[in-house]
Amino acid sequence: MADARASILAGIRAALRDRPPTPPVPRAYRRTGEASVELLAERVAHYRAAVHVVAEDGLGALLGDLLAGRVVVAPADLPWDVPGVTWLRDDPPLPLDRLDEADGVLTGCAVAIAPTGTIVLDAGAAQGRRALTLLPDYHVCVVRADQVAGSVPEALARLDPTRPLTFISGPSATSDIELDRVEGVHGPRTLVVVIVRGAT
């Protein structure tokens, strides 16, 4: 077996021996753009997600309205504690069946991209592990104004490529061969994005 492996690798090395040098990749594309709360809200809504823009002092009341009476998963370091909610803290990590039974999840994000209406999670502060935002059917995501980027390159420059990155543009949706849209196949059917104006 070892001889076969060595033989295959030797063949690959031999085939690559005379490969041409890699040409430089043009990087002259636009790297920044409009990073406004208004543009992000417009583009997120385009993907059939619910959007709320709120001042920092109104965040608690809005989260209370959005989550009242629900059983909600919370990352272990979630900074918002809203009354009237049954919280399932992911500390220690909840089993998958508990996540699947929850009504929803509340998280923050790493960055949001205004021109594409995309929010990005990297399992960092207030986000928790990836499974938290895939199994519950209702995802409320809080975006601070200073997390809004004006382009994809600008957003990528803020992210650590070694972290598990999840890009979310609207509720989970896919289409079959007849182009019939089906929501909720790979994640929550309902996405609510709360943009906190002026928060840093």
In this predicted model, what pLDDT tens digit does every residue of 36-68 receive, in sequence order?
999 999 999 998 899 999 999 999 999 999 999
Q: According to CATH, what is the number of the domain 32-197?
A: 3.40.50.10420
CA distance 170 to 56: 23
Give mean pLDDT, residues 20-49.
91
Q: What pLDDT sits at residue 52?
A: 98
- Look at the pTM and tell me if it is higher than 0.75: yes
CA distance 24 to 51: 41
Q: What is the mean pLDDT of the chain?
A: 93
In this predicted model, what pLDDT tens digit does every residue of 89-130 receive, in sequence order?
999 999 999 999 999 999 999 999 999 999 999 999 999 999
- φ/ψ (deg, to 5) at 111: -160, 155
Identify the CA nearest to 141 among candidates 196, 197, 194: 194
Query: Do 109 and 165 meet the contact criterion of CB atoms below 8 Å apart?
Result: no
**pLDDT exceeds 90 at position 176:** no
Q: What pLDDT sits at residue 2?
A: 65
Give mean pLDDT, residues 8-27.
89
**pLDDT exceeds 90 at position 180:** no
Identify the CA nearest to 128 among candidates 178, 81, 102, 163: 163
Identify the CA nearest to 35 among candidates 144, 192, 191, 171: 144
